[in-house]
Amino acid sequence: MTIAGPETEPLDAPAGWAARGLSLRARTEGDRPFLRDLYGSFRAAELAPVPWSDAEKAEFLDSQFALQTIHFDRFFPHADFLIIEEAGTPTGRLYLDRKPDGFLVVDIGFLPHRRGAGLGTALLRHVHAQAARAGASRVWLHVLEENPGARLLYERLGFRGIEGGEGPYRRMAWPVS
């Protein structure tokens, strides 16, 4: 059972975001090109040393993005698939599966020029506060072991490693008190 999805209110944006021109809205089919580019930005460093042509890298990213989208849609059918906008222009995404036992951050990410600006911190704190209001016990996520920057951010916020990570991912939870 979920407490999110079409039958519940969508997650609102953190306080103060509107004054800064920031907002959250539901993902639409028209967001596909933006989301593909965003996904490509997540994988850019990984693919930089690969001796493929730009066309081969683009084809690989297209297929991987399509598979990721299918996976998220299939395994998290009631999740909030949100686009983060700045002045009406997409700048990031938050995929959040709100369940009674905890809020799962399926994915969060921003375009390179908005990373490190505190938006993710504000958004995760807001998700944590919303989880507390809903009576959930935690916010949890998975982070790549090879992403120490994200892992350190999550630890600063209060996330701690827990059992259940798979492969290159560490599972982390932030208890709601």
CATH of 18-175 given 3.40.630.30, 1.10.15.40, 3.90.25.10, 3.40.50.300:
3.40.630.30
Q: Which residues have CB under 8 Å from 79's CB, separation 6+?
A: 4, 5, 72, 95, 96, 97, 98, 104, 106
> Cα 164 vs. chain centroid, distance in angstroms?
19
Cα separation, 107 vs 96, in Å, equals 7
Cα separation, 38 vs 49, in Å, equals 19
Mean pLDDT, to the nearest integer, of 58-84?
97
> Cα 139 vs. chain centroid, distance in angstroms?
12
pLDDT (tens digit, 9 = 90+) per residue, 75-107? 999 999 999 999 999 999 999 999 988 999 999
Q: Kindly tell me if the per-residue pLDDT of 2 is higher than 60.
A: no
Q: Taking the domains of the chain in order of start, what are their residue ranges?
A: 18-175
Q: How confident is the model at residue 123 (pLDDT cuts 50, 70, 90)?
A: very high
pLDDT for 8 equals 55
